[in-house]
Amino acid sequence: MASTPVTVDHDDPKNPLLPVITDHPIQRPAESFQFSLQSILTPKNVFILLGPLLCAVICLCVKLDGPTSSRNMLAVLAWIFVWWMTEAVPMPITSMAPLFLFPLFGICSSDDVAHSYMDDVIALVLGSFILALAVEHYNIHRRLALNTTLIFCGDPVNPPLLLLGICGTTAFVSMWMHNVAAALLMMPVATGILQRFPTGSAQSPLVNKFCRAVVLGVIYSAAIGGISTLTGTGVNLILVGMWRSYFPEQNPISFNTWSFFAFPLALVIFFALWVILCCLYIRRGSSQALSAYLDRDHLKRELQLLGPMSFAEKVVLAVFSMLVVLWMTRRLTDDIPGWGALFNGRAGDGTVSVMMATLLFIIPNKKKPGEKLMDWNKCKKLPWNIILLLGAGFAIADGVKTSGLAEILSKALDFLEKAPYWGIAPAVCLISSLITEFMSNNATTTLVIPILIQIAKSMHVHPLLFMIPGSIGAQFSYLLPTSTPSNIVGFSTGHIEMVDMIKTGLPLKIVGIAVMSILMPTLGAYVFGTDRAI
């Protein structure tokens, strides 16, 4: 008698767990093995194995003229960057890899690695993210986004003009505060504009490309704007400090002197960025695609519907404005030290950021009795994955120095002694811009500048001919999310991928090096006198 297939409802708790006869053929052992092999040998699993395999190959086959820890550091870098580039392992998990890889490979202790995951810059990002969440919670970013869009969108919508307005505003803000702070301030404004567009499958390719262009424009404009003033980034201050320390008998680099050279440089690079973004991400038909969501009359009505600013909005803006002022005035110039001198340099940007964020948990919002502007439940959206990514970047920077790998890299700069006068600036700028992709901007400057000074002395040329391209090149960190914290701010929005950063950052880096190569022997010679030895 033929068996009849039995159908059992497994969701019914009254049904016993009886054997079920099905019509599906039974897999043979060979087929089962093939299926298991296919499920294991996926591209993602191959990339997972590639990381430790490449690390092992470097440890066994590569010999460096330095301590064993330097070779191990190179091997660990290969492991981590393979996982980062392929995203075989989630990026936040890969970001925690230094916590166990560095101690296991004898690079540094677990305590030293852990300290890299919480320093002043990370405190700056944490406090700024809390303030950004407050801005988002009270819809302040929506009000700012509507005003910015109304000013620059045009009628009909002009995507290049709107992009230019967002990027120009970011670059101007970055001239007067830290690059990360400028990116954190402007990113909610940019994403507030992008929130008007549909997401997912409903988003057209033209709109998707414009969203990518806006986020890329904000992070790169923040980096470019910081070049133009001494207070725009810590790299410029490190350069000025080292110049004063090594050459006290020479005239110090003043705020105006630096701006006279660096502002034209930054301006040319900024317009190059705008052209690159327009060529790569704004297509014919973008205006029509965006007009459906950015009609000027509709924007005006939405702005009117928001009504007057509430007490909570005004206070959050006041706290943010106070934070910006404190950032800008903590450290100014040699003649005007700023309020940070009152604390003997112990207070940093992160100190101010966390302090102002704390005020939000103290000041009432006047909406409900006892309710404050912020509470911890509103902070559940803090991007801890970005904090881990940022900490990994700092850990790698420290590991490169402590392992001795930095000294090996510095020896590779000896060939600059044979470079011609016109070839010095591009060579130095290229090397510095490559190193900064794997180390923080400040760490790259601190590492490279003393080496460049020694080479300049041996060549009997003006040290600033080496120092300025080295420091500005350290700010051309455009390729990787971990290159600088402002890149991470844009990467955290989810609008861009690493491919976008490489596609945009590579031509921008080339333009930056080319502009520096032209201006340093010409305008630099006029401003700094680099055409003569000291």
**Residue pLDDT, tens place only, 35-85:** 555 666 777 888 899 999 999 999 999 888 888 998 999 999 889 888 877
Instruction: Please determine, for residue 413, whether its predicted confidence score (pLDDT) is greater than 70.
Output: no
Are the C-beta atoms of residues 515 and 268 closer than 8 Å to each other?
yes
pLDDT band (50, 70, 90) for residue 370: confident
Range 118-129 average pLDDT: 80
pLDDT band (50, 70, 90) for residue 356: very high
Phi, psi (5° rounding) for residue 280? Answer: -85, -35
**pLDDT number for residue 32:** 62
**pLDDT number for residue 364:** 93
pLDDT band (50, 70, 90) for residue 216: very high
Residue predicted with more confidence, 294 or 339:
339
Query: Which amino acid does the sequence have at 138?
Result: Y
Q: Which tokens go with 484?
A: 């600088």
Instruction: Please determine, for residue 169, whether its predicted confidence score (pLDDT) is greater than 90.
Output: no
How many angstroms separate the most distant Cα atoms in the chain?
A: 107
Are the C-beta atoms of residues 132 and 187 closer than 8 Å to each other?
yes
Phi, psi (5° rounding) for residue 6? Answer: -105, 130
Residue predicted with more confidence, 470 or 25:
470
The Cα–Cα gap between 373 and 362 comes to 7
The DSSP letter of residue 346 is: -
What percent of the chain stands above pLDDT 90?
A: 22
Instruction: Please determine, for residue 103, whether its predicted confidence score (pLDDT) is greater than 70.
Output: yes
Phi, psi (5° rounding) for residue 274? Answer: -60, -45
Closest listed residue to residue 72, CA positions, set 368, 399, 390: 399
**pLDDT number for residue 455:** 78
Write down the mean pLDDT value for the chain: 81
Choose the most confident range, by mean pLDDT, from 55-69, 141-155, 420-434.
55-69
pLDDT band (50, 70, 90) for residue 3: very low
Secondary structure class of 224 (helix, strand, coil): helix
443 exposure class (CB count in 10 Å sphere: 0-12, 13-18, 19+)? buried
50 exposure class (CB count in 10 Å sphere: 0-12, 13-18, 19+)? middle
Phi, psi (5° rounding) for residue 119? Answer: -125, -170
Q: Which tokens go with 172?
A: 């101007």
What percent of the chain stands above pLDDT 70?
A: 88
pLDDT tens profile 321-338: 898 788 778 776 656 777
Q: Which tokens go with 146?
A: 């509507």
Secondary structure class of 364 (helix, strand, coil): strand
**pLDDT number for residue 417:** 64
Token look-up 């052992």 returns: 29
pLDDT tens profile 270-281: 999 999 999 999
Are the C-beta atoms of residues 485 and 121 closer than 8 Å to each other?
yes
pLDDT band (50, 70, 90) for residue 205: confident
pLDDT band (50, 70, 90) for residue 2: very low
Residue predicted with more confidence, 344 or 531:
344
**pLDDT number for residue 17:** 46
> Which distant-in-sequence residues (6+ apart) come within 8 Å of 153 by Cβ?
161, 162, 294, 296, 299
Range 158-163 average pLDDT: 88
The Cα–Cα gap between 444 and 310 comes to 45
Q: Which tokens go with 329?
A: 């005035």
**pLDDT number for residue 293:** 76
pLDDT band (50, 70, 90) for residue 155: confident
Choose the most confident range, by mean pLDDT, from 223-232, 238-247, 400-409.
223-232
Helix H segments across 439-497? 441-459, 464-473, 485-491
The Cα–Cα gap between 314 and 391 comes to 33
**pLDDT number for residue 360:** 94
